Structure formats: structure tokens, C-alpha cells
Amino acid sequence: MRREQRHPIRGFLVSVGLTPELLVEFQYNPSQLSDRRSVSYATLNAPGLIMPTRQYVSGGDRTLSFTVRIDGLMPGPMDKTINISRDADGGITPELNKYRTFLYPQSEQWQRAGGSFMPLYADTQQFASPPPCRLSLGNRVIDCIVTDVSITELYFNTQLAPLRADVAISLVELTPYNRPAPGGQVNARQA
């Protein structure tokens, strides 16, 4: 009896409403995921109480944080299906820029960003918010906005192009009340 070979499932981030679509497939899945949520309570004081009571006010953001590694030197477990974007020097800056794109105002020219995104906006007077996205980690699929990307470049070639990096990502889950509107703005739900 032949055993069926299973391929690992790769996590990914994909833009919602951005043209062209931005898809970032994780070369290596995160090894840890932080899932944090808080709620707010108001303190109510009244005469004769030994301690104040608490009244629920609202829920807070659900924030997910994780780190992925991009390695331009070693093939990942899915390198036949996942292509790491590289520049002419063999560096992974184009792949790193995919993550940065989730933090900058929307631009149809995001693929032309090099060492900086600022030249993309030289002639722009009005900006659309950064693109909302969808995070997929196995059966966990979450509509979200990226709130923080921190890139630590770890290894360079002789032209100082990065070849390996850790990318720390924080994102906030979107609720049914703040889905992206046309144009990428995150607005309150209209009645």
C-alpha cells in the first residue's frame, strides 16, 4: 500500500481591494503566534460600597502578532510552489517590500518600490489608506489590517543586498462593523 505524501500548508497574507493584488506566502510558517484582546470597564463608585463595581464599556482590539523568516539562501519546504521575490543583486528587498506595502497608502505602483516607498507618492495629492488584508493560517482565516511591520535584516551579499530577514507582523482583526469600504477606507457600518 502506497502512502500519500502530504505537503505542509503555508500561511499567507493577501490584500483585499488592492490592484494588483498583493499575496505574501510565508516561506516558513511562524513558530509562535500571540493573540491578545482586552476589554474596557468603567469604575462605578457609590456611597456605602466596600469596593467599586465595574460596568462593561466596550471590547478592545484583537491583536495578532507573529514573526516569519525569509531566507534567500536556503530553500523553504515549499520552494517549488512559493517564489521569493528577488532583485537584480539577488537580494530579497522585493519580498520585504511586499510586507511594507501593507503599511503605506495604496499605490498601483507598489511593485516599483525600491529602498523607499516615498518616490511612489511624489505626484500624489490624495491618499487611500493602506490595504486591508486577509490572514490565513491553516483553518484560521481573519480579515484584518496590518498595524506594525518590523524587519530585521540578518545577512547580506557583497552588494549589501539583504539575503535573510525576520519579519515581525502585528495586525488587528476587523469586525463586522469596520469592513473595508470601496477605496480601501475602513468605515463604520452604514445602516
Distance CA 132, CA 57 (A): 27
pLDDT at 78: 62
Per-domain residue ranges of the chain: 12-39+52-173
pLDDT in tens, 77-130: 666 656 788 888 889 998 998 998 898 877 666 666 767 766 666 776 777 788
pLDDT of 191 > 50? The answer is no
Position 120 scores a pLDDT of 67
CA distance 186 to 178: 6
Is the pLDDT confidence value at 2 over 90? Answer: no
pTM of the model: 0.79
Residue 13 CB partners (closer than 8 Å, separation 6+): 22, 23, 24, 99, 102, 133, 134, 135, 136, 146, 169
Q: Give the pLDDT mean for 176-188.
A: 55
Tens digit of each residue's pLDDT (9 = 90 or more) over 142-162: 999 999 999 999 999 999 999
pLDDT of residue 104: 80
For 29-87, how does the pLDDT look when each residue is reduced to its tens digit (9 = 90+)? 999 999 999 999 999 888 888 888 999 998 889 999 999 999 988 776 666 656 788 88
